Amino acid sequence: MRCVVVCLVRTGVVLRAMRSRMAAPVLAVFAFGSEGSFRIDSIRAVSGASLPAASHLQVHHGTHALPAGWSGVQADYVLRGSTGHLRYVTDAEKQTLAKAPPVLGRPEATRASLIPIRKSDAWWELAQDERRAIFEERSRHIAIGLEYVPAISRRLYQARELGEPFDFLTWFEYAPSDASRFAALLQALRATEEWRYVEREVQLDLTRVSR
Ligand code: HEM
């Protein structure tokens, strides 16, 4: 009995140590309204319904609740997401991605895009290995994306499990001189087999106006 207790305690210690070494999820609330660090230059529905017009976007990190004072005029509506574990990346791809990790908040990267995406039921009904095959073996999502690193910094927020209207909130930052490269990246990805499963996509192009 004593051995069982000691083993359980040791396992708990090891699991806690492993957990503390893994990156903690980053929670975020995207608040659309009349104030915020990003000016909304355009909102465009690529597939499905668009989002309501707003002039500014404020991103609050570390919370899924709106901080005090962010209601009414400042936040007409919100989207929520959390970073999560990698689902499709192989070990070799992980090593390659780690050589140029995305850096957010670069001073020269004054342009940003928020692209909320929802995939179809047909996508979510596929088995994991079939989704991976479409995502990378057939669509080359990572291989294409790596051609634009480090000019385009990115962060992927998961939103499906939060019951949000989108499955993913994808965030990108780049210098104004790289805006045309970002457009080329979008064109390349949207032409892939993976994008046939995207049923709602809205592109918001932004300019950072304050820190
Ligand atoms: C900047 C270059 C890019 C790189 C290096 C890149 C890389 C990746 C990687 C490694 C994943 C897999 C994460 C996982 O294993 O769970 C991923 C997922 C994803 N990326 Fe990209 N990406 C790039 C650009 C884009 C762009 C421009 C979009 C949107 C227009 C986008 C949308 C997504 C979405 C929606 C997922 C989630 C797919 C799913 O789980 O079904 N990515 N990306």
In this model, does residue 5 exceed pLDDT 80?
Answer: no
Number of domains in the chain: 1
Q: If you measure from the C-alpha of residue 96 to the centroid of ligand 1, how many angstroms do you get, rounded to a whole number?
A: 15
In this model, does residue 20 exceed pLDDT 60?
Answer: no
81 backbone φψ class: left, alpha, beta (φ>0; ψ -120 to 50): beta
Ligand 1 pocket at CB < 6 A: 86-89, 97, 115, 117, 119, 141-142, 145-146, 148-149, 152, 154, 156, 168, 170, 185-186, 189
72 backbone φψ class: left, alpha, beta (φ>0; ψ -120 to 50): left
Full domain range(s) for residue 141: 37-54+83-208
Tell me the two tokens of residue 54. Answer: 């707003």
User: Where does the pLDDT of residue 15 fall: very low under 50, low under 70, confident under 90, or very high at 90 and above?
Assistant: very low
pLDDT digits (tens, 9 = 90+) for 176-186: 999 999 999 99
CB of 53 closer than 8 Å to CB of 21: no
CATH number at residue 151: 3.30.70.3420
Q: If you measure from the C-alpha of residue 3 to the centroid of ligand 1, how many angstroms do you get, rounded to a whole number?
A: 46
| Least confident among 63-67, 147-151, 173-177, 201-205 | 63-67
Mean pLDDT, to the nearest integer, of 55-62? 94
Tell me the two tokens of residue 86. Answer: 């990698």
The answer to whether position 148 is within a domain reads yes
Q: Which pLDDT score, from 0 to 100, does residue 74 have?
A: 60
- Identity of residue 39: R
The answer to whether position 193 is within a domain reads yes
The answer to whether position 190 is within a domain reads yes
Handedness of CA 113, 155, 170, 37 (dihedral sign): negative
